[in-house]
């Protein structure tokens, strides 16, 4: 039979030791998981917290001194967690709000684990040495991350997602701003260790670690982090100047501040020097006004404010940021509309996630942390340098998060700082004579059982499903002799009914669209695969009805189906009209509806829809070209001429035609080809011939243009020109057109 002291020791270290693994979570990268830089870290975080909690519950029941103290900071965190829970419950998609997705791995489940992290740290880290060890581990991990980043700046194979970061450090965090945000908070932990350590050798080690992290931060070229560093240093020096006593120390702060300002001025004066212009971070700041990502974020902030006005109290629920697009006008563009799932601004993100109440409750945690720091500083229980360092750390957190968002690596540190502020003067563990250890073994069995049960559903199943899905992504379609084998694998993955379901459905849509476009119906089980995809697409529409990005993807897929199966047109039409009620300002839907009418052969209705949309924006060249094509099919000669005139007028004034274009019409080669094809399909051969001749003028060596022109000559009865132009196509591209041309010439001779 174990003694009370032994039971306490086993439970205490069983709950505490796993927490010392948390600082190393940023090192975790699992290539075999979907979103390898994100998902593995979060699964590890959850498992550690859940196991620690399973050991902590019997400890807190049996030993009163380990129960959490109901401090203002803890109460504010509990209130914030409660408010977000209510917001998620009444949000537009509670399921997604709770579980999130692989790409972000946040949601209410992560917020609950962060709240538990705070409780565990506050209850178990009773001595300063616990915190010192914890902070040392954070700094040690950051050094490993930084060294690894320098040695291996491109950790994994460059993908479409990571290609944009080539030339910038991102290490084991997978994203330069994420790496910089993490390291900049570690810098403050290192600085606090310098301030609380007496031995010079350790101070030197911490200083070197900080310098290493700062070097890596610089090479991330993250504007948010650099602004955070500059703002943090300035704030620290100003606070130091006003709080510190002694003219010498004040002078030191003034000198450093002067050096910083002078450095900035020197950069501005010598901005054209090669050293400055070749700097990646300088380039990013210099191009900030023209950076598409910046413009996109500013526009997203505007949309988010409109969405906030629709649901100001509790917001839309976590992971539902994309729902803001349902209440904003979305102008038509020929390019794919970029749907953002984050505002990249901490204030806007939380005001959308949980409304004004959620934002206020979130800021209350910081306010109470500041207040706690101030009271302890005024009471003489906190040194000036540590007080200023902690204030600066919180300030820098806000500065950088004005332009980015948290990941588990930064959440870990900020919640750790909350707990540290709450417990920094708890140096003694208060004993309790009345121990309740009788039922602890039974309670421990229950909590461990619950840990295994919840870990299976919350961690193992989604991780396993993500692993299987990753295998599918790594394979090629031609590896499967039939679609039956691929469908069997996808059905198996879907049977897990977890986080990957939505990703699998998206992949099935991509594959089915490929089948339809490439006419691969002869491959075994192709139709069965498409039918199953249609079923899954309908499920996705029910689950994420507010997600216009997914709705647009499914509409495009249904359009491809409708082109080969007219019986599917009614479903496509009803789906488009349904989403026109969800967001009447989503202009792309109206043009899709016009395409549906085109499929039905109702050219008049198609033209009318496009005409109405163009009337709202007469000088939009993309809309005018859509109207031009619709007018050709509807035989609206006046509208054809007007559209051509408007397009020419707009483009002449812009003077920015980059593609080859006809100088008479100011239409690009691809646009002229679409016009030629439209006239050809309408049977207006002379008009089609006119535009094909323009195409040949622009690209005289394009064999396809010559061959199509020959077919037009044949259709209008000019056999001589048909043969001559057809032979030209054969000369230009004998591999692809010789046989076709010979057949055409032979048929002409046979007719003669």
Q: Does position 639 have pLDDT exceeding 60, yes or no?
A: yes
Q: Does position 359 have pLDDT exceeding 80, yes or no?
A: yes
Sign of CA dihedral 487, 489, 494, 495: positive
Who wins on pLDDT, 197 or 257?
A: 197
Residue 403 neighbours by CB distance under 10 Å: 20
Q: Does position 428 have pLDDT exceeding 60, yes or no?
A: no
Whether the CB-CB separation of 599 and 634 falls below 8 Å is answered with no
State the average pLDDT over residues 448-453.
94
Task: List all residues 6 or more positions away from 567 whose beta carbon is below 8 Å from its beta carbon.
Answer: none
pLDDT in tens, 329-343: 998 876 778 899 999
pLDDT of residue 431: 53
Give the residue carrying structure tokens 């033209």: 607
- Using a pLDDT cut of 90, give the percent of the chain over it: 63
pLDDT band at 664 (very low <50, low <70, confident <90, very high): confident
Sign of CA dihedral 461, 339, 323, 315: positive
Provide the token pair at 457.
């559903």
Who wins on pLDDT, 666 or 599?
A: 599
Q: Does position 1 have pLDDT exceeding 60, yes or no?
A: no
Residue 114 neighbours by CB distance under 10 Å: 22
Q: Does position 132 have pLDDT exceeding 90, yes or no?
A: yes
What DSSP letter does each residue of 68-89 carry, written as one string?
PP--HHHHHHHHHHHHHHHHHH
Q: Does position 427 have pLDDT exceeding 60, yes or no?
A: no
pLDDT in tens, 206-223: 999 999 999 999 999 888
pLDDT band at 152 (very low <50, low <70, confident <90, very high): confident
pLDDT of residue 409: 95
Highest mean predicted confidence (pLDDT) among 305-319, 693-707, 713-727: 305-319
pLDDT in tens, 96-125: 999 999 999 999 999 999 999 999 999 999
| SS3 state at 106 | coil
**Average pLDDT over all residues of the chain:** 88
Using a 10 angstrom Cβ sphere, with 0-12 exposed, 13-18 middle and 19 or more buried, the burial of residue 210 is buried
Q: Does position 630 have pLDDT exceeding 80, yes or no?
A: yes
Domains of the chain: 1-67+441-464 (no CATH), 601-656 (no CATH), 662-752 (1.25.40.10)
Give the residue carrying structure tokens 């004040």: 250
pLDDT in tens, 25-49: 999 999 889 899 999 999 999 999 9
State the average pLDDT over residues 522-530.
83
pLDDT in tens, 276-287: 566 667 677 767
Who wins on pLDDT, 428 or 69?
A: 69
Cα first-last separation, the chain: 109
Provide the token pair at 534.
């249609």
pLDDT of residue 602: 94
Sign of CA dihedral 407, 410, 416, 418: negative
- The interaxial angle of helices 408-423 and 39-62, nearest 10 deg, is 30
Q: Does position 432 have pLDDT exceeding 60, yes or no?
A: no
Q: How far is CA 20 from the centre of its chain?
A: 30
pLDDT of residue 652: 84
Q: Does position 249 have pLDDT exceeding 70, yes or no?
A: no
pLDDT band at 520 (very low <50, low <70, confident <90, very high): confident
What DSSP letter does each residue of 515-569 carry, written as one string?
HHHTT-TTSTTHHHHHHHHHHHHHHHHHHTTT-HHHHHHHHHHHHHHHHH-GGGH
pLDDT of residue 248: 64
State the average pLDDT over residues 407-416.
96
Give, in order, the Cα–Cα distances in Å from 733 to each of 338, 672, 694: 39, 22, 20
Q: 118: number of CA atoms within 13 Å, CB side?
A: 26
pLDDT of residue 593: 96
Q: Does position 187 have pLDDT exceeding 70, yes or no?
A: yes
Whether the CB-CB separation of 55 and 163 falls below 8 Å is answered with no
pLDDT of residue 658: 62
pLDDT of residue 84: 97
| SS3 state at 657 | coil
pLDDT in tens, 375-410: 999 988 888 989 999 999 999 999 999 999 999 999
Q: Does position 159 have pLDDT exceeding 60, yes or no?
A: no
Who wins on pLDDT, 427 or 725?
A: 725
């Amino acid at each position: 039979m174990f003694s009370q002291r032994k039971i306490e020791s086993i439970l205490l270290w069983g709950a505490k030791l796993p927490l010392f693994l948390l600082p190393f979570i940023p090192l975790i990268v699992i290539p075999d998981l979907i979103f390898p830089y994100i998902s593995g870290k979060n699964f590890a975080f959850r498992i550690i917290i859940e196991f620690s909690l399973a050991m902590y519950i019997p400890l807190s029941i049996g030993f009163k001194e380990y129960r959490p103290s109901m401090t203002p900071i803890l109460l504010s965190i509990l209130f914030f967690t409660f408010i977000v829970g209510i917001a998620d419950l009444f949000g537009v998609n509670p399921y997604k709000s709770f579980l999130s997705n692989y790409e972000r791995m946040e949601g209410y489940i992560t917020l609950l684990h962060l709240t538990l992290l705070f409780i565990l740290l506050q209850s178990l880290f009773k001595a300063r040495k616990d915190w010192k060890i914890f902070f040392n581990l954070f700094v040690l991990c950051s050094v490993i991350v930084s060294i690894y980043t320098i040695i291996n700046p491109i950790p994994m194979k460059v993908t479409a997602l990571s290609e944009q970061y080539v030339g910038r450090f991102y290490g084991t965090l997978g994203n330069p701003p994420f790496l910089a945000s993490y390291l900049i908070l570690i810098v403050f932990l290192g600085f606090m260790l310098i301030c609380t350590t007496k031995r010079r050798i350790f101070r030197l080690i911490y200083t070197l670690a900080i310098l290493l992290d700062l070097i890596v931060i610089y090479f991330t070229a993250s504007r948010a982090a650099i602004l955070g560093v500059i703002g943090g240093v300035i704030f620290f020096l100003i606070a130091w100047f006003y709080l510190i006593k002694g003219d010498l120390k004040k002078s030191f702060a003034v000198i450093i501040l002067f050096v910083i300002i002078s450095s900035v001025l020197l950069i501005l004066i010598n901005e054209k020097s090669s050293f400055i212009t070749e700097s990646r971070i300088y380039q990013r700041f210099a191009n900030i006004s023209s950076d598409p990502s910046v413009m996109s974020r500013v526009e997203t902030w505007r949309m988010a404010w409109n969405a906030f006005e629709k649901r100001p109290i509790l917001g839309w629920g976590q992971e539902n940021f994309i729902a803001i697009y349902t209440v904003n006008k979305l102008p038509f563009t020929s390019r794919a509309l970029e749907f953002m799932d984050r505002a990249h601004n901490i204030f806007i993100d939380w005001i959308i996630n949980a409304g004004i109440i959620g934002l206020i409750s979130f800021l209350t945690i910081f306010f109470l942390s500041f207040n706690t720091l101030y009271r302890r500083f005024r009471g003489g229980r906190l040194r000036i340098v540590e007080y200023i360092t902690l204030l600066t750390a919180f300030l820098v957190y806000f500065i950088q998060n004005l332009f980015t968002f948290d990941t588990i690596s930064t959440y870990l540190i900020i919640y750790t700082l909350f707990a540290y502020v709450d417990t920094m003067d708890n140096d003694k563990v208060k004993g309790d004579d009345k121990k309740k250890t009788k039922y602890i073994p039974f309670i421990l069995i229950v909590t461990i059982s619950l840990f295994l049960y919840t870990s299976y559903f919350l961690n193992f199943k989604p991780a396993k499903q993500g692993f299987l899905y990753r295998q599918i992504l790594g394979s090629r379609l031609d590896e499967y002799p039939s679609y039956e084998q691929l469908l069997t694998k996808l059905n198996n993955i879907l049977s897990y009914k977890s986080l990957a379901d939505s990703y699998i459905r998206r992949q099935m849509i991509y594959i089915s669209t490929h089948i339809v476009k490439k006419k691969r119906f002869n491959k075994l089980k192709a139709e069965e695969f498409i039918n199953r995809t249609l079923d899954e697409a309908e499920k996705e529409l029910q689950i994420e009805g507010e997600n216009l990005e997914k709705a647009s993807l499914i509409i495009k897929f249904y359009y491809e189906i409708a082109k080969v199966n007219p019986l599917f047109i009614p479903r496509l039409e009803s789906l488009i009209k349904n989403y026109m009620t969800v967001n009447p300002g989503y202009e792309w839907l109206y043009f899709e509806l016009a395409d549906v009418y085109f499929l039905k052969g109702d050219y008049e209705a198609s033209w009318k829809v496009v005409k109405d949309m163009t009337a709202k924006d007469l000088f939009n060249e993309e809309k005018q070209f859509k109207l031009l094509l619709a007018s050709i099919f509807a035989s609206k000669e006046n509208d054809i001429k007007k559209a051509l005139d408007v397009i020419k007028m707009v483009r002449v004034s812009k003077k920015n035609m980059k593609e080859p274009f006809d100088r008479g019409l100011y239409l690009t080669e691809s646009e002229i080809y679409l016009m030629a094809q439209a006239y050809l399909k309408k049977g207006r051969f002379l008009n089609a011939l006119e535009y094909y001749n323009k195409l040949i003028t622009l690209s005289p060596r394009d064999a396809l243009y010559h061959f199509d022109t020959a077919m037009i000559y044949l259709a209008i009865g000019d056999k001589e020109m048909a043969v001559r132009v057809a032979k030209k196509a054969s000369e230009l591209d004998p591999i692809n057109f010789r046989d076709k041309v010979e057949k055409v010439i032979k048929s002409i001779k046979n007719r003669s």
